[in-house]
Structure 1
Amino acid sequence: MFPVGGCKASASQSHHDYPASDIFAAVGCRFVAPVDGRVDEVTRVDSWNPRTNVGRDRGGLSVSVVGVDGVRYYGSHLSQVGTDIKPGLQVRAGQTLGLIGKTGSARFTPSHLHFGISWPTAAGRWWIRRGAVAPQPFLAAWRQGKSTSPARAVARARTSYGVDHGCRAYC
């Protein structure tokens, strides 16, 4: 399902330098689990510093879910993460994970949910978790109520990154 619940939201049709979408919505709108799955990673501390602009810190507060389809769904720039949201927690599609905000590198931009789709990765693999597959076609389908999984697109992207062939740089 569409990852913003209870508010008007507008998803970007592209992203600046990697496959992702910024879903513009008001601060406090709900970031919801797009699928049934389990919470993979939670960041509750905003460590981003504009002077250093370290990639791993750009997301600010964030939550990722590995869906029953094996895909990792990532949302960041949250103002708050649900107090009960922790790694390993089973979640249902539509369940609130956090609230949209302006943390991380979104501090100086309109409030939005940075939404990325990838495969499950080891902790700290920020260059994958931020987005490896363009989510726009899936966001459009979910908004129309269609149940569409990006699992095949994620498998193709994972292979192209070389993950299954001894990749060192991206896996």
Structure 2
Amino acid sequence: METVTRVEIMRSGHFGLRAAAAAALLLTGACTQAPGLAGVSAQSPSAPSLSATPSGPAPTAEGQAAAQPPKGDDPVNVPPPKLSKYTYAFPVKGCKTSYQRKLLVLPKTTIWAKQGCAFVAPIDGVVDEVNLVNKWNPATDAGADREGRFVTIIGDDGVRYLGGHLDVVADGVKPGVRVKAGQLLGRVGKTGNARDTGSNLYFAISWKTGPAYWWVRRGMVKPWDYLDAWDSGNRTFSPREETLKLRGKLGETPPCAVQCGTRPAAPQSSKSPRPKKTGGGGDEDVVITINPSIAPFGQ
């Protein structure tokens, strides 16, 4: 009995030593490792270096192309919308020009250009009137003569176009001759009451009447919107509709309203009187209005 007791005690001592050793090992591991779940290593995986080369296949050319946004096609030039069946040309060709965009006494405009610049037909049509002689006299300043040398055409659109203050009229331009848009009709000058101004083209839009109704040809429709379009916008922008509408409202031969008569002749002197110089083509010098019931000068 005593022997058994000693053996058991000895065994108990061995087990105690082993238990103590195991406890020491556990305590040592707890101090050297980060806490974690049981059965799972608490050691964090090493983070990849930022400078390390990424693993996997190298990107292909197709892949790189897919990553780049596709390039757009070159812009397509779209012509302006066709506003009429007619095509127009700016009435001064091959020269730098400027012109007024406001109403000054008459619904016409003054296109400033160097003397000798080409005045061309603004549309296909037929020559209507041609004046080869500069009849204007500053002493009387007759309204019918203010444009000096001029050419008018009746366009295929039914509209009349006037180019005045011409230096010369082109050879072969006479009434009844058919012309094409852009064809030379004359050269910009200073005839008529533009004598004391810079060279310019008196440009007016109206409708066909007889020569006696000269005030109609001097301008009935404001032209600058059409000039703007023909010069840099849409060359099919037509004054036909506006012109026909106004003719229907006023009649084909409306009475003269401005610059209708003549200035009283000045007494003869050794020096001819000269008109006041203006910057508007000379047409703003004198405005003479008469009673429409009185037959105007030139009729």
TM-score (norm 1): 0.94
Unaligned runs of 5+ in 1: none
Secondary structure class of the residue paired with 2:187: strand
| Superposed CA offset, 1:108-153 (max 9, x none) | 1111000000011112321100100000000000001522110111
| Distance in 2 (alpha carbons) for counterparts of 1:15 and 1:30 | 25
- Greater mean deviation of Cα atoms: 89-98 or 10-19: 10-19
Asked if 1:41 corresponds to 2:129, the answer is yes
Q: Could you say which structure has the larger radius of gyration? A: 2
What letter is aligned with 2:172? D
- Choose from 235, 238, 259 the match for 1:149: 238
TM-score (norm 2): 0.54
- Greater mean deviation of Cα atoms: 6-15 or 34-43: 6-15
What letter is aligned with 1:111? S
- Structure 2 equivalent of residue 101 of structure 1: 189
What letter is aligned with 2:255? A
- Choose from 144, 148, 158 the match for 2:247: 158
* Alignment CA distance shift 1:168-1:134 (3 Å): closer
Q: CA shift at 1:18, angstroms?
A: 1.1
Q: Which has the higher contact order (CA 8 A, sep 6+)?
A: 1
Unaligned runs of 5+ in 2: 1-88, 257-299
| Distance in 2 (alpha carbons) for counterparts of 1:169 and 1:5 | 34
- Choose from 83, 105, 119 the match for 1:31: 119
Q: CA shift at 1:28, angstroms?
A: 0.1
- Choose from 146, 162, 177 the match for 1:74: 162
| Superposed CA offset, 1:76-126 (max 9, x none) | 000000121000000000000000000000001111000000011112321
Whether the aligned pair in 2 keeps the contact of 1:56 and 1:124 (CA below 8 Å) is no
Asked if 1:65 corresponds to 2:138, the answer is no
- Structure 2 equivalent of residue 10 of structure 1: 98
Identity of aligned pairs, percent?
A: 48
